Amino acid sequence: MRDPIDLKPMLKPKSVAIIGVSRNPDKVGHIILQNYLNAGYSGRLYLVNKSGEEILGMETYKSILEIKDRIDLAVISIPAQFVPEVLEECGKAKVKSAVVVSGGFAEIGEKALQDEITTIAEKYKIAMLGPNCLGVVDPRSRVDTLFLPTYKLSRPEIGGVSFVAQSGAVGSTILDLISGEGFGLSKFISYGNAAYVDEVDILNYLMNDEETRVIVMYIEGIKRAREFVEIAKKVTKKKPVIVLKAGKTAEGSAAAHSHTAALAGSYQAHEAIFRQFGFIIANDISELFFYAKVFASEPEPNGGRVAVITNGGGVGVLTVDAVSSSGMLSLAQFSKESSNALKKVMPTLVNIRNPLDLAGDADDKRYSQALSVLSSDNGIDMLIVIALFQTPGADSRLATELIRLKENMQKPMLVLSIGAEFTKMHKIMMESAGLPVYDSPASIALALEALLKYSIYKKKH
């Protein structure tokens, strides 16, 4: 088992060299440069281009060996056949880490070329990410090696979720989605072919990273299975890991190999490892997304007893069905004290039972009264608040009140809100304040079940 690779020079670099920068704004190197400038990177930035031409008013160097400063990170975006020579120069210049965004290696059958750069990285102890990857984003250090322009792919706000993606396409899609949601990004790491730095190194780093609260992974294959098991035993004792594993079928495994040269292996074997060590398994990108939301914002529950508060009877019934069908969750029974307190403040048309249907005219005050009572009921572990903004009493005041109540909530509280533009406006309002919103009973029940499952695992270990 090799020593862990330190990714700090890559994610928190004080100096960056971009190798392969061009004047052409459509070229990968130019886009990476522009992204560093847009992000406001405050470290020392150096450009390397064989022509030595000035780019965007900045001096360029023909080789990294010409730079007198010590470089923490080299971002390499040149044709594959030239990467070994440039990486060798990085080694001689004592560069600490490198992101090779260039494709054209083992994923297209050029295994010898990939082995060559891996040998160079090992020789000089360069923490090399890639090749065939997007690289990294760290909003706090304003590092952004993505070759996707910000006008096409928005960057999320700073937060506690770290995304690890073998596929740049999957990772960038998730980044684009979360940029409009209420939970932010700690790190984004796209590692491609994993020629040197792999999922074991990344998990080891993020496990000890104080800025990361939740780890979300999309993987196509695991290179070092034994080492992965060892790190898996440790990481979920500290923080949740949500994983989406591609290659469930033989055809999918073959596609994974042609994509990132990943040895996908048996999906069942991978799944057994994930379950044994408390990973939360997502079946698709949507699940990955709403699991990330709940773990980013919610405390660990004491149990699986759920109270449902709604202003729409039918949606309340569907939500009860989803909760009752989950296998781990159950419908909570209101205590006598809660029932009596609710009777005092609710209008006579409200039937005091779970689900608590506040009626179609419920406003922010009625929701506030209900939640104030139920949040202190020891027989309730989780709260689902259904807010249908099509009803007369539901408006921005309701969203504001739910946000206020969430601030002091000691239990998981998720909102279910279904609708078009008016609803979406309030969804953004709530999620930007850290209140997770879901758009189906099934998704909200799955999210709560995952939260409970991890809580149980963590208490046992």
> Are residues 292 and 316 both part of a single domain?
no
Q: What is the mean pLDDT of residues 55-68?
A: 94
Give the CA distances from residue 349 to residues 1, 173, 361, in Å, rounded to whole numbers and listed in that order.
Answer: 67, 46, 11
399: part of which helix (H) or strand (E)? helix 396-407
> Are residues 352 and 214 both part of a single domain?
no
**143 in a structural domain:** no
**456 in a structural domain:** yes
> Are residues 375 and 454 both part of a single domain?
yes
**In angstroms, rounded to a whole number, what is the distance separating the alpha carbons of residues 137 and 145?**
6
Residue-level pLDDT at 262: 43
pLDDT tens digit sequence for 282-327? 999 889 988 999 999 999 999 999 999 999 999 999 999 999 999 8
Closest C-alpha to 12, from 139, 107, 105: 139
Is the per-residue pLDDT at 263 higher than 80?
A: no
> Are residues 222 and 334 both part of a single domain?
no
**In angstroms, rounded to a whole number, what is the distance separating the alpha carbons of residues 187 and 140?**
9
**147 in a structural domain:** no
Is the per-residue pLDDT at 249 higher than 80?
A: no
> Are residues 303 and 291 both part of a single domain?
no
Q: What does the angle CA 352 – CA 353 – CA 359 come to, to the nearest 5 degrees?
A: 65
pLDDT tens digit sequence for 452-461? 999 999 999 8
pLDDT tens digit sequence for 124-137? 999 999 999 999 99
**435 in a structural domain:** yes
pLDDT > 70: percent of the chain: 95
> Are residues 160 and 292 both part of a single domain?
yes
Residue-level pLDDT at 253: 45
> Are residues 325 and 203 both part of a single domain?
no
- Residue 259's pLDDT band, with cuts at 50, 70 and 90, is very low
Is the per-residue pLDDT at 257 higher than 60?
A: no
> Are residues 282 and 306 both part of a single domain?
no
The count of domains in the chain is 3
Q: What is the mean pLDDT of residues 358-369?
A: 97
- Residue 51's pLDDT band, with cuts at 50, 70 and 90, is confident
**281 in a structural domain:** yes
Residue-level pLDDT at 172: 86
Is the per-residue pLDDT at 182 higher than 70?
A: no
To the nearest whole number, what is the mean pLDDT of the chain? 92
Identify whether the C-beta of residue 212 lies closer than 8 Å to the C-beta of residue 162: yes
Domain coverage including residue 200: 153-297
- Residue 179's pLDDT band, with cuts at 50, 70 and 90, is confident
Is the per-residue pLDDT at 260 higher than 50?
A: no
**352 in a structural domain:** yes
> Are residues 59 and 177 both part of a single domain?
no
Domain boundary among 65, 99, 132: 132
Residue-level pLDDT at 265: 59
> Are residues 167 and 31 both part of a single domain?
no
CATH label of the domain that carries residue 32: 3.40.50.720
What are the contacts of 453-458 at 24+ separation with CB within 8 A?
A: 453/280, 453/328, 454/236, 454/240, 454/278, 454/280, 454/295, 454/300, 455/300, 455/301, 457/236, 457/278, 458/236, 458/237, 458/278, 458/300
Model confidence, pTM: 0.91
Domain boundary among 235, 268, 297: 297
Residue-level pLDDT at 283: 93
> Are residues 167 and 187 both part of a single domain?
yes
CATH label of the domain that carries residue 427: 3.40.50.261
Q: What is the mean pLDDT of residues 351-363?
A: 96
> Of 168-177, 266-275, 416-425, which one has max mean pLDDT?
416-425
β-strand pairing of 73-76 with 127-129 = unpaired
Is the per-residue pLDDT at 178 higher than 80?
A: no
> Are residues 1 and 126 both part of a single domain?
yes
pLDDT tens digit sequence for 267-280? 788 888 899 999 99
Q: What is the mean pLDDT of residues 162-168?
A: 92
Is the per-residue pLDDT at 44 higher than 60?
A: yes
pLDDT tens digit sequence for 195-236? 999 999 999 999 999 999 999 999 988 989 899 999 999 999
**141 in a structural domain:** no
**144 in a structural domain:** no
Domain boundary among 297, 325, 355: 297
Q: Does 177 or 227 have the greater pLDDT score?
A: 227
